[in-house]
Structure formats: structure tokens, C-alpha cells
Amino acid sequence: MRILSRSSGDHIGDLTSGTGLSAAFEGADTVLHLATSAGAKDTRQTQNAVDAAKAAGVSHFVYISIVGVDVVLYPYYRSKFASEQIIEASGVPFTILRATQFHSFVAQVIQLQRRLPVILSLDVPDQPIATEEVAQRLAELVEAGPSGRVADIGGPEQLRLREAIDIWQTAAGTHKKVWTLKLFGKTIRSFREGRHMTALPGYGRETFAEYAAREAAK
């Protein structure tokens, strides 16, 4: 196994410029594209990764995407969907896995507000999943070989974001007030309707409460 990173790892490279990709992919059978810019650069990075994989004769390109990228009108999601389309049109055998948001992402939303006197929430549901369980599924897909777009995966429960905040505060022993913002528009409506989630029961097994307790014990 090799790791490509901009600063450390087996190979130093940059997905945005494409530097270092040829050397990193040379002789590789499978490439897992797990990086993201969380923005518009995603499509350029994916195109560079696919081009390098094709040139190197890679036989399996695995991509992690997000549930709902084809139906939620959020710019970052649209970039992920465009990246999927680049991969599908590349001619490189591929597997695309869409997952719901990670437990750690929900926790990050809360932690980024630690200096505020309150925690701001949205009136939306979520279905967080453990990163370890997503990694396990990706490992299975590598072994299975090119499978196209496989079934989406999500966590074992669907929570309102406010519920997740309450769970996190209970585990952390904090008691900040929570204000729920009332936003409007097509994008927030998509999230409110749960178009970024899978059906239950989900693939994941670890609940958000179990994750929060695990993190609080560190």
C-alpha cells in the first residue's frame, strides 16, 4: 500500500496540479481516491487522478462520494457528482461508494462553535456513520474488484441535528444553549427532506451516542 499526500507519506504530490501522481500510480493495480478539497477543486483533482490512473494502467479506481450528491442542490455535492461522472466516463474500471456524513463531521460542526456562547443548529436530520465502518466497506470493495456504483451506506439511525448536539453535550458534560436556525430555499429543503440519507436499517452499527462516549473518554 502507498499513501499520496501533499506533505508526508510514501509519495508527495498534489492532486490540484497533478504533480507527483505519475510516480505514485506507477505499477499500482488499485487507486483509492479519498481526498477532497470540500469545494470546486474536487472536479479538477478527480480529473487529474483519473488521467494519471489511466496512463499508469490502473485496473480499479475506487471513489468515496456522498449520499444525495445527485439530488441535493448544494455546490459541494454538485462537485462530488461531477467527479463521479468524470470517473464513469474515463474508461478506467471503477467503483463508486456513497456514504452519509461521518460521526466526526457532526462532531466538528459542534466543536467549531466552542468559542460561541451558544451552539447554532439547523432543522435537518442526519444519519452519521463511523469512519471505521466506511473504511471496512472500502476494503471489501477493493477485494471485490470494479463494481460500478454500489449501494449507498449510512449509519444505524436518523437523528435531528439538535438531537445529535444534545447527545454530544451529554457525553462531553457541557450545557450550552442551542439555537435552531430557520433557513429557507431549495438546498435546505433537500436536507430537511432527508435526501442525503439512506433507508434504515443502515450499513453502520455504531450509534452517534456510542461515538460521542468514545470521544469523551479520550
Condensed to tens digits (0 to 9), the pLDDT of residues 176-195 reads: 999 999 999 999 999 999 99
Q: Which three cell numbers stand for residue 110?
A: 459542534
Residue type, 165: I
How is residue 162 written as a grid cell? Answer: 439538535
Could you give the CA distance from residue 99 to residue 96 in angstroms, rounded to a whole number? 10
**Model pLDDT, residue 1:** 83
* pLDDT band of 214, cuts 50, 70, 90: very high
The Cα–Cα gap between 202 and 210 comes to 16
pLDDT at residue 118 greater than cutoff 90: yes
Q: What global pTM score does this model have?
A: 0.95
Domain total of the chain = 1
Residue 210 has a pLDDT of: 98
The gap from C-alpha 103 to its chain's centroid, in whole angstroms, comes to 10
Q: Given a cut of 80, is residue 125 above it in pLDDT?
A: yes
Domain housing 184: 4-216
| 106 vs 183: CA distance, rounded Å | 19
The stretch 40-51 carries a mean pLDDT of 95
Phi and psi torsions of 126, nearest 5°: -150, 165
CATH at residue 165: 3.40.50.720
